[in-house]
Amino acid sequence: GSMRMVKLPLATSQPADLRRKLWQDHRIDVPINALSDGLWVRISAQLYNEMDDYRRLATAIRSL
């Protein structure tokens, strides 16, 4: 499949707040979900995405 859920190394923030901050600070829009074992980001691999897009997301998440 082209979609994956990746567990975030963050435990205390609300998903909506994180999504808003990623958009406001980095212009990145990704779904973030709170599940019983933590927060997860859903990424999608599409033809127009490049590896640098995923690296940029990882860097933005580490900055939170």
User: DSSP characters for 13-29?
Assistant: S-HHHHHHHHHHHH---
Which tops the pLDDT comparison, 59 or 45?
A: 59
The string of pLDDT tens digits covering residues 12-40 is 678 999 999 999 999 999 999 998 888 99
Q: What is the pLDDT of residue 47?
A: 87
pLDDT at 1: 64
State the pLDDT confidence band at 42, using cuts at 50, 70 and 90. very high
Helix (H) or strand (E) holding 14: none
